Every structure is written in C-alpha cells, then in structure tokens.
Amino acid sequence: MTAPSYRSVLKSTSVIGGAAFINMLIGMVRTKFVAVLLGPYGVGLMGVYMTIVGMVSTISSMGTDTSGVRQIAEAHGVNDETQISRMVATLLRTVWVTGLIGAGIMILGSSWLSRIALGTADHAGSIAWLGLAVLLTNVSIGWTCLLQGTRRIGVMAKAGMMGSLISLLFSVPFFYRWGVQGIVPGLILAAMAMLATTWWFSHRVPIRSVVVPWRESKTLALQLLHFGLPVMCSGIVAACSAYFIRALLVRQVGLDGVGLWQAAFNLSGVLVNFILGAMVADYYPRLVAVADDPDRVCEEVNAQTEIALFLAVPGLAATLVFAPLAVTIFYSGKFDASIEILRWFVFGLFGRIIAWPMGLVLLAKGMGKTYFTMEALGNIVYIVAIWFCTHMWGLPGAGLAFLLFHVFNTIMVRIVVRGVSRTVWSRSNALHVLCFGAVLTLMGLISWFIVDPVWHYAINVPLLGVVGLYCLSYLSKKSGITVQSLWSRMVNGLDRRAPPGA
C-alpha cells in the first residue's frame, strides 16, 4: 500500500479513535457512578440486562445492520444515488418491523428470560420494559447503516459521542435517585439518545427523494434478509453465548462475581474499541469495494492489521501495567478482585485485534454461512472453556477462558481466510505479532510475579515507554504523518479537516 493510501486509512481510523476516546471517557464517568452508587451487584445486574437487550436486538434485527451497510456501500461505490435512496427507504421500513418483533419477544418472553439469566422471574417486569430499548436500538440501525455505508465516518463518530453524552446526563440521576431501580429507565434513555443523534446526523447526508412502492420494498427487504440471515445467525450465536455465559457465571460466582467480571470486561474493551469500531465503520465498506480482487483484499487486510496492532498494543500494555490503578479510579476498592481477570482479558483482546481484519473478509465476500459456522464453533469453545476454567479456578478462570477462546479463533480465522481468498499476513506483520506477543507476555509475567509496586512500575513503565515510542515512530514513518500531527488527529479527529467523505 502506498504512503498516501496508508495515510488515508490511518486518518480514518484516527477519526473514529478520537471519538472513541471521548466516548471512553464518558463511559468511564458513567461506570464510576454505577460502581459507587450500585456496587458490584448493580454492575452485574446492569450487565445482564444489557446482554439480554443485545441478544434480542441481534435476533430481531435479522442481520440488517450488516447487510444494510453492505448494500449501501456497494451502491455508494459506483455512485448509484437512486439505488442508495431505494435501499435506505426499504431499510427504514424493515427496521421498524424488526424492532417491533424484538419488543414483542422481550414482553412475551420476559419471565423465561429472567429465569434463565437470573434464576428467578422477579426481574420479568424490568425485562419487559426493556423491550422499548430493543425497539429504539433496532430503529437506529437504519440511520447508522446510511452513515456507515456512505462512509460518513466523522459524522458517525459525532453521533456516537453525542449519544453517549446525552445518555450520561440523563441516566446518572436515575441511578442516584432510585439506585438499582434506575437501571432500566437509564438503559431506555440511552437507546433513545442514540436513536435521536443518529437520526439527526443522518438527515445531513444528501440522498435523493424517491417513492418506493411497498412491493419493491418487499423485494429489496428479501435481498437484505437473504444476506443478513447467516449474519443474523452468527450474531445470535454470539449474543446467546454472552447471555448464557453470564447466566453460567451467576450460578458459579453470583451476581457480585458477574459484576467483577463485567468491570474487567468493560475496562479491557474500551481501550481497543476505537480500533474495532474503525474496522466496522471504515475498513469494512472499503473491503466490500475490493472483495473480488484477492490482491487488493490482501493489501487492505495487512494495512488494517498493521495499523490496528500499532495503535492497540500501547493501550494493551498500559492496561497490564496500570490495571490496579485503573480499577481503583474507574470503579472502587470493592472491585480489586477484577484486576487479575482484566490482565487475562488483555491477552485475549490482542488475539481479537489481529483476527478481526481477516474475519471481516468473509462478510465482505458474502460468505455468511462460512462466517456463521466459524462463529458457532468459536462460541461453543468459549462456553465450554468458561465452564471448565471457572470450575477449576473460580472467577479468574473466566479471564483465562477468554484468552483460550481468542487463541482458538485466531488460528481458525487464519486457516479459513487463507483458504478462501489466499489472504496471509505479510512477513512484517507476522514478525510484529510475535514480537508484540512476547513483550506483552513479559510485562504480564512481571505484573503477576513482582508484588512490590515500586519494582513493578520501575521495570514495566520504561518497557511501556519503549513500546509506545516505537509504535508511534513506526506509524509516522509508514504514513508520512509526524507523531505530533498523529496525536493531534487522534485528539481532534472530529474537526472539519477530516478526510473527504468523513
């Protein structure tokens, strides 16, 4: 990939990164309030509720979140504005139907969902009310697909940031006034805020006004569902896996233990979400555009893998070093038991970072059934690993299971994608994966075995500095962007100087 192309990919990633960084801060402020006001029990209960909403939303959306982006991205790639307009109109009608179906599932199945996840039907009323959050989440998919499919990266980032900020301002008073009883209205308001912001910013995208007959919408909707069905099945597997994992943890370690696990999961995820978000928001539409050219696909995969590695590894390393401090700042001393889980999660996320660029190749090529099979197999391995590891080692075993799942998934993705598209890592990427993996392992061993905090920081902080400087200088050399301008782009990624189309 040429330096200008590499620079364009890096800039698009950093735009999402700047927004994700702000979202991370907003999310951590909300998390701090939840941790202090509700404790581990409240964090665990909120995590279970969010998992149920995510699972039902995934089932009822029928894959439209992925298939809609793919269809709009294809039309956008050939500048077919009429087709974009027809697809958007159809998508908006479809998500209302799927949203109502999702709300119905939540209401009618509330008692069953409560018993499976929490061992009692006492939470059935709360779960039924969360059907409104499912409806709002599904409807927002239509507007999000428009922004993502047309690669309005900066606008999409602004919408996410504003939605997070509004949900923070409205949800925290509920937690303060009603404690655990404020979780449900807080989640509903968060979904409402996200719908409002995506709708507001989507109306700034110029699309032609067309009249789409319902018969034509039915045909286009069937096209969406045809591709979206395998993706939906994959999403269902992942969502149900998350649901049953939490249900399993409730029985193994109780809601307090789930709260500790959720705290570690939240902290580990926010530090790499800007990478994964950029892959979905910008990399996936680019991959769709070149899906029929194996050489271009390989080039895109390696460029995105390299950028993801060099942006994520410093954050992962910092998490290993400052895990105790992070838990204290963003949660409280009651969550100290989550530190060990958090460190295991770091290694699992390293596997996710290097596997995702290849995994999205299958979706870009329309190989939904293959993607579904891999998702199903991987999540079965994850559930078995959770059961075995928590049975053997208690709550810390859940972190080890996360690592084992991603080791298995990375190996499987590499084998399958190489077979279907001849996509392999470049020699440089393979070497960096090995080296970064070794450095993270060394830092993890130091964190685990050197108990004295003085020696722990004296050894690990210089290592972290070396890793961070190397990553920044490497990205600067490859892209032609100076370290100073790269940092400025990360911080100010939402300004009007974003790349064209952002």
For every residue of 234-261, DSSP letters joined together read HHHHHHHHHHHHHHHHHHHHHHHHHHHH
DSSP conformation class of 380: H
Answer with the residue of higher pLDDT: 266 or 441: 441
Tokens representing 394? 């208690």
Q: Indicate the average pLDDT of the chain.
A: 81
More confident residue, 66 or 261: 261
Q: Given pLDDT bands bounded at 50, 70 and 90, which one contains residue 97?
A: confident
Most confident of 108-122, 206-220, 268-282: 108-122
Model confidence pLDDT, tens digit, residues 106-128: 999 999 998 888 878 888 999 99
Q: How far is CA 423 from CA 3, 361, 413, 420, in A?
A: 21, 9, 11, 8
The amino acid that residue 103 corresponds to is A
- Domain locations in the chain as residue ranges: 3-491
Closest CA to 263 of 42, 21, 18: 42
Say what the pTM is.
Answer: 0.69
Three-state DSSP state, 441:
helix
Query: 233: part of which helix (H) or strand (E)?
Result: helix 214-270
pLDDT tens digit string along 413-462? 999 998 888 888 999 999 999 999 999 999 999 988 887 888 889 999 99
Asked if residue 498 has pLDDT above 50, the reply is: no
Residue pointed to by tokens 């900020």: 165
Looking at residue 460, what is its pLDDT? 93
Given this model, what pLDDT does residue 270 score? 65
CB 106 within 8 A of CB 130: yes
Question: How much is the pLDDT for 11?
Answer: 65
> For residue 281, which of 157, 183, 412, 407 has the smallest C-alpha distance?
157
Contact 493, 14 (CB under 8 A): yes
Distance CA 187, CA 181 (A): 11
465, 321 Cβ separation under 8 angstroms: no
Express each pLDDT in 345-400 by its tens digit: 999 999 999 998 898 888 788 787 788 888 889 888 999 999 999 988 888 899 99
pLDDT for position 10? 66
* Residue 314 contacts residue 370 (beta carbons within 8 Å): no
Q: How far apart are CA 135 and CA 254, in angstroms?
A: 30
Report which of 253, 464, 453, 456 is spatially closest to residue 338, judged by C-alpha positions: 253
Query: In terms of residues, how long is the chain?
Result: 502
CB 395 within 8 Å of CB 260: yes
Q: What are phi and psi of 292, to 5 degrees?
A: -90, 0
Q: Counting beta carbons within 10 angstroms of the beta carbon of residue 36, is it exposed (0 to 12), middle (13 to 18) or buried (19 or more)?
A: middle
CB 241 within 8 A of CB 379: yes
Lowest mean per-residue pLDDT among 49-63, 272-286, 468-482: 272-286
Provide the residue type at 46 as one letter: M
- Token digits of residue 230: 């395998």
User: By the 8 A CB rule, do 64 and 139 touch?
Assistant: no
460: tokens are 């690990």
